Amino acid sequence: MVSLSSATPVVPGELIPGVCGNPAPLRSSRARPGGFCLGIARRLRRSRIDLDYPFETELGIRIPRPLGHGPSRFIPEKEVPAPLLWDCFFLSCLCHSEESEKLQSAVDEHFCCFSPDHLTIQVGKEDATMHTLFAESFATLGRLDNVTLVMVFHPQYLESFLKTQHYLLQMDGPLPLHYRHYIGIMAAARHQCSYLVNLHVNDFLHVGGDPKWLNGLENAPQKLQNLGELNKMLAHRPWLITKEHIEQLLKTEENSWSLAELIHAVVLLTHYHSLASFTFGCGISPEIDCEGGHTFRPPSVSNYCICDITNGYHGVDEIHASPAGSILSTESVCEVEALMEKMKQLQECRDEEEASQEEMATRFEREKRESMFVCSSEDEESAATRDVSRHFEDTSYGYKDFSRHGMHVPTFRVQDYSWEDHGYSLVNRLYPDVGQLLDEKFHIAYNLTYNTMAMHKDVDTSMLRRAIWNYIHCMFGIRYDDYDYGEINQLLDRSFKVYIKTVVCTPEKTTKRMYDSFWRQFEHSEKVHVNLLLVEARMQAELLYALRAITRYMT
């Protein structure tokens, strides 16, 4: 259980720190009661419990309300597995806090049915893993963000993700802590991901970063400015990275990077480029303490009791949202049946005959060319806001299909340079243990399965997962000699390809319409699973190009 014994008492009449004016201190206040109250209010308000009376009237604390409902704009809140567990977790923390007596008294008076023992009953064994993950994440970061609340659909992956991110940001490593968060800001800004930028601006300040750096990349040390070129190529056109780019960073007379520092920076850049894809791909809502995430307007629904949560009632507005798979049209059912039939037929063809290497290469080139013409009707240039664009240079630089505009880039053959045989050992040698953490995360995402497809159980989804992974790598020019790329067109329809390409290449252009239009009969948890594949396949693709360039420089 997380303890707040080190927190300072709440002063009656005190505003929650940072909300009026600059919300940044909220994230860096960590376990201060202001931020703690906010965490409680944030989840309980989403459950339509009115905490204004006890907290604002009796204690004089102004509590902001979230503008949205739930951690995702794409997924109805009642479909996310976290809300009840979150409420139980935070309220049980409140009850066990020695210095939260006033807050506890208010809860006891106005929610008389609440007790820690009652909560213990409500959290069943099936939730134990999630509860542990929440506790560890909160103890480590001082927060549970919306990314975590959506990823918890898949606890096994979330555990690996949090462990890796914690190591990259907080454990011993080549780069100082404030550099790590600033690099996270630079990476997220390339995709105009204000959600991640805001989180790391606050973390950057919390670990002692110079506020002047936040005025623009030109105010940061030259060493970080020099990283800008690699950042933009990794984010948008990683196939253009050469050993000369690596040499420029390592051999600069002043402000040079060491190999270990560069590996750390590359992993951070790829981590946050891909996390931006997840943020946009799942429609992650702004955190309550960030711009666009809160309001002080009075709530429209009140007078709910804590018992309503435990009984599964979360407010009248929930009737307006239905999960992806709640109303299955005949057409949708036919789609999933057709997909399963294609998988069966492809497996039978595999067993009967195998295409030649020449034919496999031809099919790869065909799929690579066709991927250039996969674009959304909503595809248009999106200008970055000043608050985000100041953290990177060359704002006009973006994704371009590597085969367009007369550019010819040789195919990246995994048989010549792979993560398993080359990248893993290089990372582990220069940044110990990180290679192992990344490898575990890649494998979990790639192999994760519940053997279900929409309403069907006991289904082998390995063929479908491999098609998604290899299609992403194909868009980056990465080829597996032993894979038949003809399977991709059989398994991935156009709406799905549009979604994949947008989330991976230009995530800032992702819309709810794109999210809703693919796999209409599948559960939201399955669509989040797809996003985990997109995140890890993209990160590995970027790493392969960067690590190959580093290897070539070293040899």
Note the pLDDT of residue 19. Answer: 35
For range 68-88, the mean pLDDT: 76
Specify whether the CB–CB gap between 7 and 32 falls below 8 A: yes
Question: Predicted confidence band at 57 (pLDDT cuts at 50, 70, 90)?
Answer: low
24 has a pLDDT exceeding 50: no
Average pLDDT score, the chain: 77
Q: What's the pLDDT tens digit per position in 257-267?
A: 999 999 999 99
For range 190-201, the mean pLDDT: 94
Note the pLDDT of residue 443. Answer: 98
Indicate the domain borders of the chain: 323-554
Q: What's the pLDDT tens digit per position in 427-456?
A: 999 999 999 999 999 999 999 999 999 999
Q: Which residue has the higher pLDDT, 301 or 11?
A: 301
301 has a pLDDT exceeding 80: no
Running DSSP on this structure, what letter comes out for residue 404?
Answer: S
98 has a pLDDT exceeding 60: no
Q: What's the pLDDT tens digit per position in 217-229?
A: 999 999 999 999 9
51 has a pLDDT exceeding 80: no
**Cα–Cα dist 517/506, whole Å:** 18
Question: Predicted confidence band at 352 (pLDDT cuts at 50, 70, 90)?
Answer: low
Question: Predicted confidence band at 105 (pLDDT cuts at 50, 70, 90)?
Answer: low
pTM of the model: 0.79
Q: Which residue has the higher pLDDT, 544 or 374?
A: 544
326 has a pLDDT exceeding 50: no
416-424: Cβ within 8 A, 24+ apart: 417/544, 417/547, 417/548, 417/551, 418/544, 419/540, 419/543, 419/544, 422/547, 422/548, 422/551, 423/543, 423/544, 423/547, 423/548
- Going by their DSSP bridges, the two strands 294-295 and 65-66 should be labelled as antiparallel
CA-based nearest residue to 181, from 234, 220, 147: 220
Note the pLDDT of residue 288. Answer: 77
- Going by their DSSP bridges, the two strands 456-457 and 452-453 should be labelled as antiparallel
Note the pLDDT of residue 131. Answer: 76
Helix spans in 128-258 (H): 128-141, 146-151, 155-170, 177-190, 194-206, 222-226, 228-236, 243-250
Among all chains, which residue has been given the structure tokens 């991927």?
371
For range 402-428, the mean pLDDT: 85
Least confident of 324-328, 429-433, 518-522: 324-328
Specify whether the CB–CB gap between 75 and 113 falls below 8 A: no
**Cα–Cα dist 440/445, whole Å:** 9
Least confident of 161-165, 178-182, 300-304, 506-510: 300-304
**Cα–Cα dist 288/200, whole Å:** 15
**Cα–Cα dist 510/277, whole Å:** 9
524 has a pLDDT exceeding 80: yes
Q: Which residue has the higher pLDDT, 503 or 331?
A: 503
Q: 294 - beta bridge partners?
A: 66
178 has a pLDDT exceeding 70: yes
384 has a pLDDT exceeding 90: no
Q: Over pLDDT 70: what percentage of the chain?
A: 65
Question: Predicted confidence band at 305 (pLDDT cuts at 50, 70, 90)?
Answer: very low
**Cα–Cα dist 530/157, whole Å:** 12
Report the 10 Å Cβ neighbour count for 210: 14
For range 115-142, the mean pLDDT: 62
Q: Which residue has the higher pLDDT, 191 or 98?
A: 191
Please give the structure tokens belonging to residue 374: 């996969």
State whether residue 72 is helix, strand or coil.
strand
327 has a pLDDT exceeding 80: no
Q: Alpha-carbon torsion 172, 176, 181, 182, what sign? A: negative
Question: Predicted confidence band at 54 (pLDDT cuts at 50, 70, 90)?
Answer: low
For range 293-322, the mean pLDDT: 46
Q: Is position 193 annotated as part of the catalytic site?
A: yes
Q: What's the pLDDT tens digit per position in 227-255?
A: 999 999 999 999 999 999 999 999 877 89
80 has a pLDDT exceeding 80: yes
The one catalytic residue in 95, 193, 282, 505 is: 193
Question: Predicted confidence band at 64 (pLDDT cuts at 50, 70, 90)?
Answer: low
Note the pLDDT of residue 201. Answer: 93
